Structure 1
Amino acid sequence: MRCVLPFALAGFTAAACALDTPYIEQPKPMWLWTGDETAAPACPDGAEPAWDGWQVEDPSPDCGECSCAPATCKPSTAYETFGAACGEETVPTNHVDLPEGWDGACFAPPLPVPTLSYASILYRPPVVTPCEPSPTPEPPALTAEIARACRADAALAPPSGFVSCMTSTVGAACPAEFPLRRVFTEHRIDYRTCSPCECAPPSELQCTVHITAYADRACEQAFDSATLSFTDDPVCHDFPSPSRPKFSALRAEPAAPIAGACAPVQRRSVVVDEIVRSPPEFLCCEQ
């Protein structure tokens, strides 16, 4: 860079020009070791490392495939009986509660509903559980290898396991005697996560259940039934006193094909956020 100064300041020309000239750091010899973090050797003569760092890498942005378990059709697990005809009472006299996750198999509650304690039964529609997406995957793993740079004596051969290198800067070309360019960073914080898998609504869904009430605990003496779709309102059936049996058990069976397949909103999960790194260290190495 050319430096032009007034005549009166000619005595300061050298100093001023020196201040105006950008500083260029001269390459320094280094010995470099790379490997598993737990096996990193000490620098020769017990010297402190110039730096320890991670190799700068560009991991894949892909986290993996997304999938969806189909929607399911489950019978309701709650039924009520009333002491009066349908619509005449709002408070049930008995709750017939079935186990959570009941699959519709014959179920007899511990105590049957006595003949004289109910006059109507309220049947509830089946329930559709939505498609379940596959778990959110983890981002691709980063390398577990580190690099240790030790200040070197250019006149000596590197210790076993180390290679000879020279420091470099961003954009600088490596010389022929040190042709391999390596880039490391002393610190990295991995903020990466993966986008969650999500399921679109079922392309087609039919959920209809045929519910049967039984007077015996073995589900052999049926006395009433109702067929409901998941979009139906609850249905109430009356039972006049002379024909009213004990309400002892229930069974529910699919009354129509169940189809509830879902496609993933996105076929693959992708990396979101990023790895934050400290400024890189550049080396030109023999190999």
Structure 2
Amino acid sequence: MLVHEAPLCADEGIEINLTSAADPPGHCIEASPLVPGDAFASVTLKPPTMAGKCDPVKDLAPPPLSGKFARACPWTDEYVTDFEGIACITPEDDGSCRLGFDMRFEFQEMIRDARTCTPCECGKPVGGSCMADVLLFSDASCSNMLASINEILAEEEICREAHEGSPLAGVRVVFAQDEPGTCSPTTDVSLVDGTIESGETRIFCCSSVELVEVIHANADN
């Protein structure tokens, strides 16, 4: 928006940036600089512009890890009541599993998940339309409205005369029509890059939950 000291937008004018008007739409924008009444004779409203690009989602998360996971916990009887898993012990000194615990599993400690997703890219927006209403106010809180300039289209520039002697201190921009264009992806998929850094291998010698219940019953006897 350009604010002119001369009638009919005859001078170069002072620019007031309305870029922040779209987020959120309709909020009060304090005019910077504030335009006193004796310097406010007319105003040029440039057409609203459509976004020149689409910003793809950047914070993509890699797919969740799948497979068998183990958690080693100290054994106490309280785990037996609603135990959902298999009972495991550490292997013998020679690495073998003792009788009754012959289900052998090897797990690697996960040090760090270093996977990332490759970025997505979009083409330029296609289509869309925009029409704005601009409300001018003599105060920075947008309470005392001077004028409402309606239905400003994306292809036109409008010049309006100002109220004589009134300053310009606040502006609201309301979108009467806001239909964003669409962008087609130029990269169809995001790929997972990087690896999972693993640490020491842990061995578990495991049995079934039925054996845990037998052990518990024998302990009670």
Structure number with larger C-alpha Rg: 1
